[in-house]
Structure 1
Amino acid sequence: MNETLKNVAPLLENMEARLHGFKKDTYADFLNSYLEGNRNFFDELNQQLAVQEEEFLNEFSDYFVEYAASLLEQETNKIKRNNLQLNMNMFMAIYVMPAILEGKQEKSKELTDFICEKWAKRFKGSNIKSADAASIQSGFKTKLCYVTTAVCKSLNKPEDCYELNLLRDYRDNYLAATEGGEELVKKYYDIAPTIVKRIDKSDCPKEKYKYIWEQYLKPCIAYIENGQNELCGAKYIEMMEELQSQYLITAK
């Protein structure tokens, strides 16, 4: 492996700032900036992927994962190290994996699969997945109820289930039409994908989703059914504030 590809440090720099750019209106620009800032690296990687065999995929993925591990080992504070792990997991999923796949080499997807597999083995409970930029951006465009969808999925409910449709209708036809509601929906729509990704990477995602269902979504549905839309709005805000404080505000 040549010296260009051994210089992986810049790939994991400025993670926090770039994670803040993971929003519908800014993600594409942030990803392009990331690609341009590491253009020499990704050009060389694409050249190698065009000619190298599986041995290279193994070597590169091992090298990259061990470099990431060395960054975590430098952090001695357990809380900060856990936060760094969460940030790194998400950063890999929304920046590093898409950047590799943007090269569109035949072996690009194979390489990202190698990295994801080795990542899961090296970092217990960190099962990152590979997706290209177009797939990630399509999630923004479909206006998903990210948290509600994740909760319903964990409860084995279908994507067109009654609860999801009811809450989507409430969001689009009531909450967004209230004073300050449109801005509220936009704010939480921007942060919800990050929250869901962090819950998914936590130790007990199923238990957390069950808690969200019992504590927040189930009461919200009852309020809507009883015509108590304002109470549903207050409960929804309470839910997102708790999730934001738990999954987005990191220790200094």
Structure 2
Amino acid sequence: MDKELLEKMYGDRNYYNKQFRAKTYLDATEKFCNEYMFIFNAICDEIEAVEENKDVIMENFADEFVSLMADIVKVGGKQPKSRDMLETNLYMVMYVFPCVIETGRPDSKELAECIIARWNKAFKNTNVSLSDYKSIDSGFKRKMCYITTAVCDSFDKPDDCYELTTLRRFRDEYMASSEEGVKLIEEYYEKAPRIVQTINTRADAADVYRMLFDTYINPCICMIETGKMEECLLHYKKMVEKLSF
């Protein structure tokens, strides 16, 4: 495996992370695949070429890939600072791992999962998971309370739970009634998917969601219940601004 090529791929991290927005994400994934999919196709070629011990071959490639990437990512053998590591994990989740799936090869999903398992072991406080480009992009298109949905999912609350129903009504009946509110809704749907995906790469994601519920979402519900709509809006905006990268 060519380490210089992986260094080049990692060097593109900041560029591609900036493209993680509703209007630019799919074009960015196409460009990324055009540049780097051949790496994973080559790995799949070698896996498919053997009839026995495919699992061993796959694990060896996963080990090599993560080992080389760890050498590139770690500075002086040390894991990057939290913010930088979050950016790296976001890049891997949004672009690199889905690219393995995008090859469409018979072993692509298993290979991606094998790499991810080793990635999570190689970097402390990391808990990335597998997704694909289509699923990630759909997050920009679903007009839902994205962050609140993620928080409620972490508590195993249903989609029609009181918190989600209340905030959706607040969005549709209060925010959407003004030009400024509509603009804020659109800005929210640009930022929220990135926020949630970044939180989900963290080993302490459940703790973060608990903090968001206690500090922002539950107080917002109380404000709505007492008719303090503008206060609710400002408080929710404060949360989004705090979490935005």
For 1:117 and 1:40, locate their aligned partners in 2 and report how far apart those are by CA, in whole Å: 22
Residues 128 and 202 in structure 2, CA contact (< 8 A), matched pair in contact too: no
**Correspondence list, 1:2-151, <5 A:** 7-52=5-50, 53-74=54-75, 81-151=81-151
For 1:105 and 1:193, locate their aligned partners in 2 and report how far apart those are by CA, in whole Å: 28
TM-score (norm: length of structure 1): 0.86
TM-score (norm: length of structure 2): 0.88
Residues 37 and 99 in structure 2, CA contact (< 8 A), matched pair in contact too: no
- Equivalent residue for 1:161? 161
Residues 129 and 201 in structure 2, CA contact (< 8 A), matched pair in contact too: no
3-state secondary structure, aligned to 2:235: helix
Query: Alpha-carbon deviations, 1:138-183, whole Å to 9, x = none?
Result: 2222223221112212333222211101112212332133232222
Residues 149 and 159 in structure 1, CA contact (< 8 A), matched pair in contact too: yes
Q: Which amino acid is 1:116 matched to?
A: I
- Equivalent residue for 1:170? 170
Query: Alpha-carbon deviations, 1:12-47, whole Å to 9, x = none?
Result: 222122112112221100000111122543443443
Query: Alpha-carbon deviations, 1:29-84, whole Å to 9, x = none?
Result: 00001111225434434433432422331122111111221123226897x53222
Residues 49 and 108 in structure 1, CA contact (< 8 A), matched pair in contact too: no
Query: Cα gap change, 1:54/1:5 in structure 2, threshold over 3 Å: closer, same or farther?
Result: farther
Query: Alpha-carbon deviations, 1:72-131, whole Å to 9, x = none?
Result: 3226897x5322211111111110111111111110001001011111111122121111
CA-based RMSD: 2.3
Q: Which amino acid is 1:100 matched to?
A: V
Moved more, 38-47 or 95-104: 38-47
Percent of aligned pairs with the same amino acid: 33
Residues 151 and 212 in structure 1, CA contact (< 8 A), matched pair in contact too: yes
For 1:204 and 1:132, locate their aligned partners in 2 and report how far apart those are by CA, in whole Å: 23
Residues 72 and 84 in structure 1, CA contact (< 8 A), matched pair in contact too: no
3-state secondary structure, aligned to 1:74: coil
For 2:3 and 2:141, locate their aligned partners in 1 and report how far apart those are by CA, in whole Å: 34
Residues 98 and 133 in structure 1, CA contact (< 8 A), matched pair in contact too: yes
Q: CA deviation at 1:203?
A: 4.9
